[in-house]
Amino acid sequence: MSSFLPVIFLVLVFVPSILSAPVTSLTKDYYQETCPDFSKIVRETVTTTQGPQGRTAAGILRLFFHDCFLEGCDASVLIAKNALNKSERDDELNHSLTEETFDIVTRIKAALEESCPGVVSCADILAQSTHDVVTMIGGPSYEVKLGRKDGFESKAHKVRENLPLPNHTVHDMMSLFQKKGFTLKEMVALSGAHTIGISHCKDFISRVIGPQPDPDIEARYAEVLKSLCKDYTVNETRGSFLDPVTPDKFDNMYYKNLEKGMGLLASDHILFKDNSTRPFVELYANDQTVFFEDFARAMEKLGMVGVKGDKDGEVRRRCDNLNKPNGSVAEPDKSFTSNISFELNL
C-alpha cells in the first residue's frame, strides 16, 4: 500500500512530461471558417448513437483517456494493425474498447468528410465527442480547444507501461499521472469518470472469490458480484457497472460508493483507503459541484497532453489508417513480426 509521505514527495518532484513539450496552438474556433458545422455534426452523431446506461459515453470517454495517455491526444488508439505492426488497440488492456465505440468515431468522420473533406482531425473528433457525451448524461461542460493533428505511430507494446491497471496502488497510478503533468488531486478527479461504464469480472473477481478475498468490500455488494460473475470463465463478457447505484448518470455517486466499501476495482477502493487520496474522495462525495469543477479543469488539461502539430501529425482521411503508407506505424514491430504468418492465416 502507498504511504502518505512517498506519494506527496512524488507529487512535488518535477519530472519532464509529455505535457510540457511544445505543442501547436489550439483554439476554440479552429474550424469556424473551414468546417463551420463541425460541432453540430459531432453532437448530432453521438446523440443518435447513445446506448443504454451511458454505454456510449463511457466507451468514448475511455477511448479518449486511453489515447491521450500513450502518445498524447493524437488518435493513435484508432489506428488498426497491419501485417507489420500490432497497434495500440490490439493490446489486451485495450480490448475493453468496444467496436461500437470505434464505429461511432468512424460515423462522425464520414459525416465530416462529406461536409468538409480533409479538414477535421480524428484527434479533434475524439476530444469534442468526449465532451459531448459527458454533458449528455449530466456531466459538466468544459472548454475544448481544437487544432490537433493525428499522430503517425501506434504500438501495442507501449500500452501496458502507460495505462493504470485494476490492481494498481496510489503510488503506481500517480507515477503514470505525474508523467503526464497531473497532480494527485487531478488524478482523483479524473478517476470520477468511473461513475459510468462497466468492468469485466476478470478485473475484480479476486476481490470476492479466491484464497484472499478483500475484507473491505461491503458484504452484500460482494455477494452480488459473486452472482454476476459465477460463470465468467465461460462467458468473458460478464461484468458489473463501476457505479452500481446510478450507472447511467454522470454524478458523484462513484465517490459515495467508495466510502461505503463499494469500489469495484482494487484501484478504485485504494483511493479511499490511502491516506493521501481519501480527503479528495470525501470532498467529492460531499460536494458534486466541486467534483464537476475539478473534473472539468482536469479534462481540459487532459486534452492538451502530447498534442501534435503540422510538423509531427496529419489529418487522416480515415481514422484507422495513415494517409502516408511509409508512416512509422508501418515499420516492423519486433514483438509482432515473428507472428506474421500466424496473423495472416486468421
The catalytic site residues sit at: 66
The answer to whether 213 is annotated as binding is no
The answer to whether 195 is annotated as binding is yes
The answer to whether 29 is annotated as binding is no
The answer to whether 269 is annotated as binding is no
The answer to whether 172 is annotated as binding is no
The answer to whether 289 is annotated as binding is no
Strand-pair partners of 199: 240
CA angle, residues 106, 153, 297, in degrees to nearest 5: 70
The answer to whether 72 is annotated as binding is yes
Residue 136 CB-half CA count within 13 A? 26
The C-alpha cell 490537433 sits at 148
Smallest Cα–Cα separation from 35: which of 115, 102, 90? 115
C-beta of residue 176 within 8 angstroms of C-beta of residue 18 = no
Smallest Cα–Cα separation from 135: which of 10, 284, 249, 303? 249
Residue 33 CB-half CA count within 13 A? 1
The answer to whether 314 is annotated as binding is no
Pairwise CA distance, residues 134 & 52, whole Å: 14
What DSSP line would sit under 136-194, residue for residue?
A: HTT-------B--BB-S---GGGSTTTS--TT--HHHHHHHHHHTT--HHHHHHHHGGG
Which ranges constitute the DSSP H helices of the chain? Answer: 4-12, 38-48, 55-68, 99-115, 122-136, 170-179, 184-191, 219-228, 253-259, 266-273, 278-286, 288-302, 340-344
The answer to whether 243 is annotated as binding is yes
Smallest Cα–Cα separation from 138: which of 288, 299, 255, 301? 288
The answer to whether 200 is annotated as binding is no
Binding residues for heme b: 194
- List, as residue ranges, the binding site for substrate: 164
Binding-site annotation, residues:
67, 72, 74, 76, 88, 164, 194-195, 243, 246, 251
Binding-site annotation: residue ranges for Ca(2+): 67, 72, 74, 76, 88, 195, 243, 246, 251
